[in-house]
Amino acid sequence: MASRTSLQPPRTIVFITGASQGIGQQIARTLSTPSVHPGYHVIVGALVESEGEAAVSRLLEEDSSRSLSVIPIDVTSDASISAAAGKVAADFGRLDVLINNAGILLDGLEQTVTNRPQFERTFQVNLFGAAAVTEAFLPLLAEAETASQGPPRIVFVTSRVASLAVKSDPTDRSAARHFPMYRCSKAALNMLMLHFASLNPGWKVNGHDPGLTNTPLAQGQAGAGSVQDAAVNAVRLATLGGGGETGTYSNAFGIIPW
Ligand SMILES: NC(=O)c1ccc[n+]([C@@H]2O[C@H](COP(=O)([O-])OP(=O)(O)OC[C@H]3O[C@@H](n4cnc5c(N)ncnc54)[C@H](OP(=O)(O)O)[C@@H]3O)[C@@H](O)[C@H]2O)c1
């Protein structure tokens, strides 16, 4: 398991699921840039370890002073989640920031919800995975709080299309887009986020919508934006201080109605 760190001892430990490509990789890129976020160590959570290694190599080629490591994690496997949490505990003894980014979109633009295996798989990754990962990392986040590392932060990467207000507004451009399995899983993820926010009132637990973004998940939909833009609000939420918000659902333009 690769671990490459800079000479500076890391002060802020970040773990991102699904970070070997797409928006997760971009969040890793930004948070591990020492000139912007000094002292941050980013752990790239990767479904396929070799792809995580390749992502770390790319990021180090861009800037060799980054502090990065890789931990394999399949969010649908409790054994994999437990091994990942155990590795973070052994390497760092705490976690300051958890970013639940791993996600899938299987229903494309279909309108059917009767594909039970796809529906179940979508929830396994997007909801049950984020729930199990968060619960497994709670003790390590609590360690960060005890060590006075500032408020522990959890970012749930959700979507604006999860908003009931957006879906029920016929004038909203995304209301007519379907993918109901994905929308349902992310709407439930918003409730899960609020659960963890209320459980830990001193922490900063928030939902982030990246917006339609040009990654494999977006399946070539027209109008997709850049991963750079998609990561900005996630990074803001991942670096909140004591005065920052908690229990919110936002994107680069501000608060999203539930
Ligand atoms: N792109 C958009 O337009 C958009 C809009 C709103 C919200 N989002 C959300 O943003 C997040 C990132 O998506 P993205 O657009 O960057 O898509 P992406 O490029 O497909 O990245 C998704 C990541 O999740 C990983 N993953 C999938 N299943 C996993 C599992 N079982 N365990 C662990 N990791 C798993 C993937 O690993 P592999 O590459 O190895 O499969 C990949 O690294 C997702 O939660 C998505 O729902 C995206």
CATH of the domain at 196: 3.40.50.720
**Radius of gyration of the chain from Cα atoms?**
17
Contact 235, 204 (CB under 8 A): no
Percent of the chain with pLDDT over 70: 95
Least confident of 36-45, 62-71, 102-111: 102-111
Q: What pLDDT sits at residue 10?
A: 56
Write down the mean pLDDT value for the chain. 93
Cα(103) to centroid(ligand 1), Å: 4
Q: Which of 100, 104, 128, 179 to mutate to test the pocket of ligand 1 (most atoms within 8 A of CB)?
A: 104
Atom 20 (ligand 1): residue with closest C-alpha? 217
- Structure-token pair, residue 164: 């009931």
Cβ within 8 Å of residue 170, ≥6 positions away? none
Cα(247) to centroid(ligand 1), Å: 22
Of these ranges, 7-11, 171-175, 248-252, the one predicted with the greatest mean pLDDT is 248-252
Q: Which of 21, 56, 133 to mutate to test the pocket of ligand 1 (most atoms within 8 A of CB)?
A: 21
- Structure-token pair, residue 235: 């990074």
Cα(81) to centroid(ligand 1), Å: 17
Atom 25 (ligand 1): residue with closest C-alpha? 18
Q: What pLDDT sits at residue 221?
A: 83
Q: Is residue 103 in contact with ligand 1, taking CB distance under 6 Å? A: yes
Residue 248 sits at φ, ψ, to 5 deg, of -115, 165
Above 70 in pLDDT, residue 62?
A: yes
Number of domains in the chain: 1
Above 90 in pLDDT, residue 48?
A: yes
Above 50 in pLDDT, residue 7?
A: no
Q: Which of 50, 101, 134 to mutate to test the pocket of ligand 1 (most atoms within 8 A of CB)?
A: 101
Residues assigned a catalytic role = 182, 186
Q: What pLDDT sits at residue 202?
A: 95
Q: Is residue 21 in contact with ligand 1, taking CB distance under 6 Å? A: yes
Atom 40 (ligand 1): residue with closest C-alpha? 47
Above 50 in pLDDT, residue 210?
A: yes
Q: How confident is the model at residue 112 (pLDDT cuts 50, 70, 90)?
A: confident
Q: How confident is the model at residue 109 (pLDDT cuts 50, 70, 90)?
A: low
Q: What pLDDT sits at residue 173?
A: 81
Burial class of residue 257 in the structure, from the number of CB atoms within 10 Å of its CB (0-12 exposed, 13-18 middle, 19+ buried): exposed
Count other Cβ atoms within 10 Å, centred on residue 133: 24
Contact 209, 156 (CB under 8 A): no
Q: What is the DSSP letter of 225?
A: B
What domain range includes position 171? 3-255
Q: How far is CA 18 from the centre of its chain?
A: 8
Q: What pLDDT sits at residue 6?
A: 44
- Structure-token pair, residue 57: 């190599």
Q: How confident is the model at residue 9 (pLDDT cuts 50, 70, 90)?
A: low
Burial class of residue 9 in the structure, from the number of CB atoms within 10 Å of its CB (0-12 exposed, 13-18 middle, 19+ buried): exposed
Least confident of 8-12, 41-45, 73-77, 154-158: 8-12
